[in-house]
Homo-oligomer: A and B are copies of this chain.
Amino acid sequence: MIQTIEPIGIIHSCFKELFGIPRQPGLARAARGWVEFHPPFDRAEAFNGLEGFSHIWITFLFHKSLDNEMSLTVRPPRKEGKRMGVFATRAPNRPNQIGQSVVALERIENSDGKIALHVKGLDLIEGTPVIDIKPYVPYVDAISDANGGFAHDAPVQRLQVDFSDKASQQVDEFEAAYPELRQLINDILQYDPRPIYVRKLANKKRFGFFIYDLDVKVELISDEKLMVNELRST
């Protein structure tokens, strides 16, 4: 049995490229985005009752992995190169390439009868195809005594993040357009978005990443400290 699925909408995200995106939803609580729906799924009646829920599940396609060859094993970041079974991970490159992310529902926008869902705690890239929206139901979904195996503990927030005077002033200015921008940059950098092999390069002290239309320039001050030097509008 082969089934066809068709996106009902598309993600608009503060994340425009893969580098810098948190590994899981909720890790960067200030990471904002919204879901645009294709007709007829944009109609208000399809969302009647959703306004009472604080969180939603976004079911989506890992569209950046669609051309990859399917593999039964993957190398998750937290296992530092060790191969794990694909069904023991949430890796993007997986059979059917379907993902699910729980995010906070910040606001339901109704613009002339066309619905958009504004969300926080996003871990999805701009342009991600959305194939379903479901309410988060705590009495079913929140299993507080579950054991999360090798992924039980949240990633370590290993880095202190400082802002140069220049960057700090720029952040203040940009926050009018991008709420909680300082928090967002801090959330992304504290988990150290650099791949393991880059972290090991002793002479690689500077890197950048994109959020919204900003190029964030970062410098490694020590093994425990990063400095945001500058933001550039692209």
Query: What is the interface of chain A, defined by CB distance below 8 A to chain B?
Result: 1-8, 24-26, 40-41, 43-55, 57, 59, 61, 63, 66, 72-73, 79, 83-90, 94-98, 100, 102, 129, 131-154
Contacts and interface: CB of A to CB of B under 8 A. Distances in A.
Given A5-B98, A41-B87, 18 more contacts: A1-B63, A2-B4, A6-B95, A8-B95, A8-B96, A46-B87, A50-B87, A51-B149, A52-B152, A55-B147, A95-B132, A96-B131, A102-B143, A135-B149, A138-B146, A141-B142, A142-B143, A142-B144
Given A25-B140, A95-B8, A153-B139, A47 B102 contact: no
3 closest residue pairs by CB, A with B: A52-B149, A49-B88, A48-B85
B150 A146 contact: no
Q: Please classify the interface of chain A as helix (H, G, I), strand (E, B), loop, or mixed, using the class held by over half of its residues.
A: mixed
A47 B3 contact: no
